[in-house]
Amino acid sequence: MGTLWHAFGLRTKSTHSRKDARAHASKKHQCAQIVSEHANEEEETVAEKWIIGAIKHPVSNQDHFVSPTNHRPDRRVALALMAHPDDAEFTCAGTLIRLAETGWDVHIATTTAGDCGALEGSPEEIAKTRIAEGTRAAESAGLSFHCLGQPDGRVVYDRESLQQTIDLFRQIAPSLVITMPLSDYHADHEVTGQLGRAASFVYAAPNASAVPLQEGSTVPYLYYCDGHGGVDRMGNPIEPTVCVDITEQLDRKTEMLACHASQREWLKAHNGIDEYLSKMRDDCIDRGRQFGTEAAEVFVQHRGHGHPHEDLLAELFPLRSLSDH
């Protein structure tokens, strides 16, 4: 059970104690009073109400907040926010291994424990198995594993899920985030991508979480990983913005995926994937062939307002052609 509780530790930490809950409720009541005091002032804008609230409830840790910057970050912490244990191994583990090899502190987090990913066993039994597999896979490459424990197949975008995700980001304080595509065959993947996008933008705001804000927290570089088979939910090809050569990391990526042994029969029965290790390798080789290398992972960078625009992955791992190997 040690691995299970360690993996679920973030969820336990982010749950308020009764004392914290009473304090939180008191703060909500105070906020309600502030809104009530100004409800009849029609000329007051929403922005002004937030300013009034900030003045009445100043935050002491604002000095730690760092505005978004468009240069290589001093804080080298990467987070892959995935939906299920084994999603990172299919999509971005080669890149995560390369980051770790260059000195980055790398974390894999999943919104679910994958408790629906088996033909037999209770949700608790399946979750225990899959968390152990995810932890073993991550640790084999020197990475850390976390699980938010949301129900498999039923990940939703709501305030509770988003707050849980923001709290996780506050604890890790990533400067680079890789999350799931916003359009993919599995709704859990899409919602996880939405949670990753939202948490990336807001986690460094002082008032976004009760978890202490770490120095160097900022809006991170944000990337979406490849869709299954390189297509979106409707089967349309995904157009990557960056390709990372993982030729030298492909075998270690395969070893990581092999840690998820419970998934072989499930993927064969439910997804029609017989040899899941070979399928992953074939996908990487196909992507590599498109970009002139032996094996690759591809991503789409989020360059919306507030996020860094420089392509950090391309700067860290310039693509080499087959002739350079």
Closest by Cα among 203, 285, 247, 215 to 63: 215
Burial (0-12, 13-18, 19+ Cβ within 10 Å), 242: buried
CA distance 301 to 127: 31
Do residues 228 and 87 touch, judged by C-beta distance below 8 A? no
Edge to edge, the sheet with strand 242-245 lists 144-150, 105-112, 77-82, 176-179, 221-225, 296-301, 242-245
Q: Which of 105, 106, 210, 84 is nearest to 150 (CA)?
A: 84
Distances (CA, A) of 240 to 14, 27, 135: 35, 44, 29
Residue 319: per-residue pLDDT? 84
* Neighbouring residues of 196: CB distance < 8 A, sequence distance ≥ 6: 81, 165, 177, 179, 180, 222
Q: Per residue of the chain (325 residues), what is the pLDDT tens digit?
A: 333 333 333 433 333 444 444 444 444 444 444 434 444 444 343 333 333 333 333 333 333 333 344 467 889 999 999 999 999 999 999 999 999 999 999 999 999 998 887 778 899 999 999 999 999 999 999 999 999 999 999 999 999 999 999 999 999 999 999 999 999 999 999 999 999 999 999 999 999 999 999 999 999 999 999 998 999 999 999 999 999 999 999 999 999 999 998 877 666 655 555 588 888 999 999 999 999 999 999 999 999 999 999 999 999 999 864 444 4
Tokens 């625009």, residue located: 309
Tell me 248's DSSP state.
G
Residue 42 has φ and ψ, to the nearest 5°, of -65, -25
Report strand pairing: 176-179 vs 105-112: unpaired
Give which of 102, 136, 131, 101 is closest to 117, Cα–Cα: 131
How far, in whole angstroms, is CA 164 from its chain's centroid? 12
User: How do strand 176-179 and strand 221-225 relate by DSSP bridges?
Assistant: parallel
What is the enclosing helix (H) or strand (E) of 162? helix 159-172
The answer to whether the beta carbons of residues 226 and 287 sit under 8 Å apart is yes
DSSP per residue over 130-147, as a string? HHHHHHHHHHHTT-EEEE
Is the distance from CB of 110 to CB of 84 less than 8 angstroms? yes
Q: What is the pTM of this model?
A: 0.76
| pLDDT at residue 121 in the model | 86
